[in-house]
Every structure is written in structure tokens, then in C-alpha cells.
Homo-oligomer: A and B are copies of this chain.
Amino acid sequence: MNKQIEATRRRVTVKDVARVAGVSAGTVSNAISGKRKVDHETRARIDKAIKELGYVPNLAARGMRTGRANTIAIFSSMPTAVAAGSARLGFLMEVAASAAVAALERNVALVLVPPIEHPETALGTIPFDGAIVVEPEVDDPYWKVLRDRGVPVVIIGPPPEAPAPAVRVDHATIATMLIGHLLDCGAREIPLIVGRSQRQSNRVFRETYEARMAAEGLPARVIEVSEAEGELGAEAALLAELDAGRSMDGVLAPIDSMAAGAMAALHARGLRVPQDVRVATRYDGFRARSQTPALTALNLRLDEMAQLATTALLDQLEGMSEPVYLDAPAPELVVRGSTVPRD
């Protein structure tokens, strides 16, 4: 009953519990983990001792013995993150939130590793058993290190290397849905504003766009904007296009910051959205929703993707299953005011 308020109190260990309960340390361990059978009555004594002493296991020691940290990390790499701006972060955080819940349900904690300056350093400081890598680049630094170290990894996004465990996101499908929607809305002159970097998503988007436009017998116009320029870059590029007298009745800008830039350009030239020009983007985040009118986008079902990835990773860690290759759930079109007039 007496609250021992000593300045420095030795940590309560499994040995202390053992002594009080009149058993050996090993038995206490077994009682806690449930790995081996322990007599019902002795277990009761142990439980009592634990409560009495306020024992809380030392996770570092446990981890050292078992070789597991009971932790997984979620990574998103640097370069494009800064470039693609808040979108990327929002994307990552949406995934992380869902992954954290899924992981905790299996008593594993999630370590959040946002894009930072020096990835390598961080990697050495963070204890984790496996990782989820969000939309890695082709030569993603995180992914490469993890793979080389033999850390179990599940990717969310298109896998950068042929057979890698991943929740596969098919950018072609995404592109097709968005283009199809713009066409359905009656748009015929639809420039594509796309990132200049060699990321897979840019490439696939572009190819899919060109193929589809060709199939429809419509002109394809690709406007490349450096990711680093983001919103302003896209605005400038579209203004140039408009001022050069090239007409348009739709704009497809998968990267949401660029879509925002496009909106600004259209407004500046007095074009009405959606009456004159329809606009669509990919990720239905902050950015897309803050426009007026809000942008038509896709519900990528990030929560489901995160859950899939997390359970796949944990199954793999527990040896319950081989590495798997899953397909992301089909995205859903979220139609908003930027393509269909509201109210």
C-alpha cells in the first residue's frame, strides 16, 4: 500500500516477480507469453505478484532475445515529396493512419518515417521488423537499402522491380478512368499536364493518355511541368498554352498541385469551370477539395490499401505466408463540381 517514492528505484524485473511468486524467472516468462503451459494456480500467484510489484516488461531486453522489435515502419521517400508538396504528405498520412490501426490490432506499432534530408542516418536509428514503402521511385533510396538488408518490405504503389511484394496500384487504370470521365462529360480538347521526371506514374499516365486520345481520333497535347515547380509551374505552362491561342474544353492534371495551378490559370483567363473547361485530378485530398469548384478526382481507397499492405507484411513477418503480390482495390470516381455543374 505504501507508495515507494524513492528518488531512484531499481526497475522491477522478471526476477523480482519470480521471487515474490516463489517460482523461477523462466516460469514467469512462460506465464506472460503463454508459450508453455503453466499450472493454473502458479499463474495466479504470478499475476498477483506482477500487479503487486507493478511489473512492466523491458521491451528492449525482450526484443534483444527474440530478435523482434514488434514494430513496422512506413516510408515515403524524399525527392518528389517536397516536389509534389502537401499532396504527397496527405497521401502518406492517410495511408499511415490506416496502417497504424491495422498494425496495432496485432500488437505491432507503426513508426512513421516521413521524407527527410538524410534517409540513411535515420534508418540506422529506427528499430523495425519490416516496412511499408509508399510509392517508391524506380531507384528509391529507402527501398534499395531495405532490400539489400533483407528487411521484409511491402510496397504500396507500382513495384519498382519485377517480383516484389506489393499492393499494386495500376496507373493505367487510373488514367483511363479519368480520361474516360472527361470524355463522357463532352470534353474533346484535353491537354494533359504531367510531371517531367521519369517516375513510372508519369510515364504510364502519358502513354495511356496518348493511346486513348489516338483511339478516339482526338489530338493529344502533353504539357510537361517539372515537379519542383509544382503549382506555379503548371499555372504558367497553362497560361502560355492559352495565350498561344490553343483552345481546350478539359484539363487532366494528375498531380493535384498542378491541377490547382491549372485552375488558377483558367480563372485568370476568365474561363469557367466546368462550363467552359472540365478539370480532373487523381488524388482526392486537401488540395482537390479546396478548389472552387472542388475537383473531380478518384477515391483510391487508401485505407483498404494500407490495411492490405499491413496484414500482408505482418503475415510475412510471422511466417504465416510467403511474400504476396496483391492488387489494389479498384478506385472509384468522385465526381465534383469541376466536371459536372452542381446545384
Contacts and interface: CB of A to CB of B under 8 A. Distances in A.
Interface stretch (A99-107, A171-179, A190-198): A99-107
A226 B135 CA distance: 40
A127 to B, nearest CB: 4
Contacts of A61: 60, 64
A245 B98 CA distance: 44
Contact of A125 (B67, B70, B126, B337): B70
Interface string A327-343: 00000000001000011
A89 B208 CA distance: 35
Given A64-B60, A69-B60, A292 B97 contact: no
A153 to B, nearest CB: 16
Contacts of A67: 60
A186 interface: no
Contacts of A64: 58, 60-61, 63-64
Given A100-B114, A111-B112, 15 more contacts: A57-B124, A59-B126, A60-B63, A63-B63, A64-B64, A71-B127, A73-B109, A93-B93, A93-B94, A93-B96, A101-B114, A104-B114, A104-B122, A105-B116, A111-B111
Interface of A: 56-61, 63-64, 67, 69-71, 73, 89, 92-94, 96-97, 100-101, 104-105, 107-114, 116, 121-122, 124-127, 149, 286, 289-290, 292-294, 337, 342-343
